[in-house]
């Protein structure tokens, strides 16, 4: 009789363990299909966390053992990773710790997945097992096993872990917001605008931050660099001077920052689509603010988008302003690689020279090698920026502003790597000297005196040959690749006193601050 009972018990337990495993595997399969890059929005993160709690709790209850805590997340992770094989992007590809970008991709990709899914699943598994064992003891009248001290420690650890999950939920639930434009007394300024909007662009919801002291002022669309960069946090600090004379529209392009969830399907994330999206955003802003034309300001990769958009639709824009102007990505990369090699030889940095030799000259198929070869030359940072440079307006500090949710802050870092890896190879054939010899709007190039020659020389060459109704190139002496960040007051004054004065029917505003010293 006891043998029959034992067999039934064993069979029942095996069935429960199998059910727990199937639940975990099923969750991994479903989430891999629905969220191949993991949860990308607050809503997705909360949904994934909720599923993890349910699956973990069920697995612990069914298996009636604390082993459900490590095994259930492990089964989920294995199925999840197998099911999303082939998904594009370093944050979901092979794990790499040989570069800072590889580390960022891991932390902001799989690290965030572990925090939002695996950790809650493990904690819920412990709760499920604990409740099931307590119920079993109540049904059978059996005594607890283990020492009292051990039980106290386990309960304390479980309580602490549960508190961490609760804090995580609160953090994930925090909505993004942007402060009103303040009046003289600190009150919201009448007639101003300060909004975060989500707009359907190119078939995907994409985010725009709108800020200005006067909602009727000329509109300025800012295009961040990268590809993959997000400027909402950057412009929240560095764009305040511009807000006095413009409605500043800071757009997080598809697959970046607040628009990171729009990354998929990656097959349609192309340079041509990005240009089309730029035009569509410009048309939205014209209609939203009832203006015939807007201003287009690009930074680095944003200048590539800007020039191509203006070339296609000059009727949308009062003027084009380029900072950190790009012209030919492949030639720039080759020149900057040569500059880095020359620097390493000049200062005797053998380790850097060996690293560059191992990577070799561009173009690159390994996107994680790019920052080392092209963006690591200390010469390009050997200058003192303007006194008004705000250190909060740089990565990664700029991600930690109220305008991003917690999910956007973390995924924004992963998106920088993933979107760059997708779009950079597509830029190898772009050369404005051949492709864009003419722009039918006034053109202003703002160059940093300390810009890398590999960018500056090509920008000047293109600018000299460019045909435009009017064109002007100015140099900011205390700036490098990002004059709008290095000298934000001077840039705001230039936009108001030069660009606006020369190209807008209303002329210059009188509210701009003077240039920085």
Q: Does residue 494 lie in a domain region? A: yes
Cβ-in-10-Å burial (0-12, 13-18, 19+) of 28 comes to buried
pLDDT (mean) for 23-35? 95
Q: Express each pLDDT in 360-370 by its tens digit.
A: 999 888 888 88
Q: Which of 31-40, 102-111, 142-151, 408-417 has the lowest mean pLDDT?
A: 142-151
pLDDT (mean) for 444-469? 97
Could you tell me if 336 and 261 are in contact, meaning their C-beta atoms sit under 8 angstroms apart? no
pTM of the model: 0.91
Cβ-in-10-Å burial (0-12, 13-18, 19+) of 83 comes to middle
Q: Does residue 413 lie in a domain region? A: yes
Could you tell me if 90 and 367 are in contact, meaning their C-beta atoms sit under 8 angstroms apart? yes
Cβ-in-10-Å burial (0-12, 13-18, 19+) of 239 comes to buried
What is the C-alpha separation between 246 and 508, in angstroms, rounded? 11
Q: Does residue 232 lie in a domain region? A: yes
- Contacts of 240 by beta carbon, 8 Å cutoff, 6+ apart: 488
* Residues of the domain holding 19: 2-173
Could you tell me if 292 and 277 are in contact, meaning their C-beta atoms sit under 8 angstroms apart? no
- Contacts of 487 by beta carbon, 8 Å cutoff, 6+ apart: 385, 386, 388, 389, 476, 478, 479, 515, 516
When pLDDT is cut at 50, 70 and 90, the band that residue 99 belongs to is confident
* DSSP letters for 44-113: HHHHHHHHHHHHHHHHHHHHTSTTHHHHHHHHHHHHHHHHTTT--STTTSS---SSHHHHHHHIIIIIHH
Q: Express each pLDDT in 330-349 by its tens digit.
A: 999 999 999 999 999 999 99
Domain boundary at 123, 141, 173, which? 173
Name the more confident of 427 and 507: 427
The total number of structural domains in the chain stands at 2
Nearest-10 Cα torsion for 435, 436, 438, 440? 130
Q: Express each pLDDT in 224-249 by its tens digit.
A: 998 999 999 999 999 999 999 999 99
The per-residue pLDDT for 154 is: 79
Asked if 441 and 498 sit in the same domain, the reply is yes
Q: Express each pLDDT in 307-323 by its tens digit.
A: 999 999 999 999 999 99
- Residue 394 in this model has a pLDDT that exceeds 80: yes
- Residue 169 in this model has a pLDDT that exceeds 90: yes
When pLDDT is cut at 50, 70 and 90, the band that residue 146 belongs to is low
Asked if 145 and 234 sit in the same domain, the reply is no
Q: Does residue 47 lie in a domain region? A: yes
The per-residue pLDDT for 144 is: 56
- Residue 515 in this model has a pLDDT that exceeds 50: no
- Residue 359 in this model has a pLDDT that exceeds 50: yes
When pLDDT is cut at 50, 70 and 90, the band that residue 420 belongs to is very high
Q: Does residue 333 lie in a domain region? A: no
- Residue 210 in this model has a pLDDT that exceeds 90: yes
What is the C-alpha separation between 329 and 425, in angstroms, rounded? 10
Q: Which two tokens stand for residue 309?
A: 């958009």
Q: What is the CATH number of the domain that holds 453?
A: 3.40.50.1820
Q: Does residue 380 lie in a domain region? A: no
- Residue 412 in this model has a pLDDT that exceeds 50: yes
448 phi, psi to nearest 5 deg: -85, 135
* C-alpha 58 chain-centroid distance: 35
- Residue 133 in this model has a pLDDT that exceeds 50: yes
Asked if 141 and 273 sit in the same domain, the reply is no
How confident is the prediction for the chain on average, in pLDDT? 91
* C-alpha 363 chain-centroid distance: 24
The per-residue pLDDT for 3 is: 52
- Residue 476 in this model has a pLDDT that exceeds 70: yes
- Residue 10 in this model has a pLDDT that exceeds 70: no
Asked if 256 and 323 sit in the same domain, the reply is yes
pLDDT (mean) for 283-300? 98
What is the C-alpha separation between 499 and 323, in angstroms, rounded? 14
Between 329-347 and 350-359, two packed helices, what is the crossing angle to 10 degrees? 150
What is the C-alpha separation between 103 and 108, in angstroms, rounded? 9
What are the Cα distances from residue 312, in Å, to 109, 177, 307, 309, 436?
36, 34, 9, 5, 10
Could you tell me if 69 and 129 are in contact, meaning their C-beta atoms sit under 8 angstroms apart? yes
Cβ-in-10-Å burial (0-12, 13-18, 19+) of 9 comes to exposed
Q: Does residue 460 lie in a domain region? A: yes
Q: Express each pLDDT in 44-85 by its tens digit.
A: 999 999 999 999 999 999 888 888 899 999 999 999 999 999
Q: Does residue 30 lie in a domain region? A: yes
pLDDT (mean) for 292-315? 98
Cβ-in-10-Å burial (0-12, 13-18, 19+) of 508 comes to middle
pLDDT (mean) for 171-186? 94
- Residue 174 in this model has a pLDDT that exceeds 90: yes
The per-residue pLDDT for 9 is: 44
Asked if 158 and 255 sit in the same domain, the reply is no
């Amino acid at each position: 009789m006891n043998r029959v009972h034992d067999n039934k018990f064993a069979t029942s337990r095996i069935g429960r363990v199998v059910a727990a495993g199937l639940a975990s595997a099923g969750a991994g399969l479903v989430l891999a299909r629905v969220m191949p890059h993991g949860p990308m929005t607050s809503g997705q993160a909360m949904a994934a966390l909720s599923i993890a709690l349910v699956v973990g709790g069920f697995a612990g209850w069914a298996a009636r053992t604390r082993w459900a805590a490590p095994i259930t997340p492990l089964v989920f992770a294995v199925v999840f990773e197998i099911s999303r094989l082939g998904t594009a992007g370093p944050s979901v590809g092979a794990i790499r710790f040989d570069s800072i970008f590889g580390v960022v991709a891991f932390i902001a990709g799989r690290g965030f997945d572990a925090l939002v899914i695996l950790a809650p699943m493990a904690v819920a598994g412990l709760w499920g097992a604990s409740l099931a064992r307590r119920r079993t003891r109540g049904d059978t009248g059996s005594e607890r096993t283990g020492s009292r001290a051990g039980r106290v420690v386990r309960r304390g650890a479980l309580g602490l872990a549960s508190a961490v999950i609760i804090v995580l939920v609160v953090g994930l639930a925090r909505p993004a917001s942007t402060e009103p434009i303040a009046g003289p007394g600190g009150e919201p300024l009448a007639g101003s605008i300060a909004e975060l909007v989500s707009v359907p662009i190119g078939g995907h919801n994409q985010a725009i931050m709108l800020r200005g002291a006067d909602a009727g002022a000329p509109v300025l669309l800012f295009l961040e660099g990268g590809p993959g960069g997000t400027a909402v946090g950057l412009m929240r600090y560095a764009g305040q001077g511009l807000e006095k004379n413009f409605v500043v529209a800071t757009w997080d392009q598809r697959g970046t920052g607040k628009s990171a969830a729009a990354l998929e399907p990656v097959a349609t994330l192309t340079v041509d689509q990005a240009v089309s999206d730029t035009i569509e955003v410009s048309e939205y802003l014209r209609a939203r603010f009832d203006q015939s034309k807007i201003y287009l300001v690009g930074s680095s990769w944003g200048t590539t988008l800007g020039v191509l958009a203006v070339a296609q639709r000059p009727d949308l824009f009062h003027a084009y302003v380029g900072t950190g102007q790009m012209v030919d990505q492949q030639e720039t990369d080759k020149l900057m690689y040569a500059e880095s090699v020359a620097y390493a030889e000049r200062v005797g940095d053998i380790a850097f020279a060996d690293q560059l030799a191992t990577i070799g000259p561009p173009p690159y198929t390994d996107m994680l090698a790019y920052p080392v070869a092209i963006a690591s030359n200390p010469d390009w940072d050997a200058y003192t920026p303007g006194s008004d440079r705000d250190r909060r307006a740089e990565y990664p500090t700029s991600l930690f502003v109220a305008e991003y949710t917690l999910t956007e802050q973390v995924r924004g870092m992963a998106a920088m790597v993933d979107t760059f890896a997708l779009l950079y190879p597509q830029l190898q054939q772009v050369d404005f000297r051949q492709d864009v010899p003419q722009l039918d709007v006034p053109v202003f190039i703002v160059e940093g005196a300390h810009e890398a020659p590999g960018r500056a020389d090509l920008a000047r060459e293109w600018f000299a040959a460019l045909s435009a109704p009017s064109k002007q190139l100015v140099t900011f002496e205390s700036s490098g690749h990002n004059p709008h960040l290095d000298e934000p007051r001077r840039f705001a004054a230039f936009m108001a006193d030069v660009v606006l004065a020369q190209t807008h029917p209303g002329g210059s505003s009188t509210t701009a601050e003077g240039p920085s010293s």
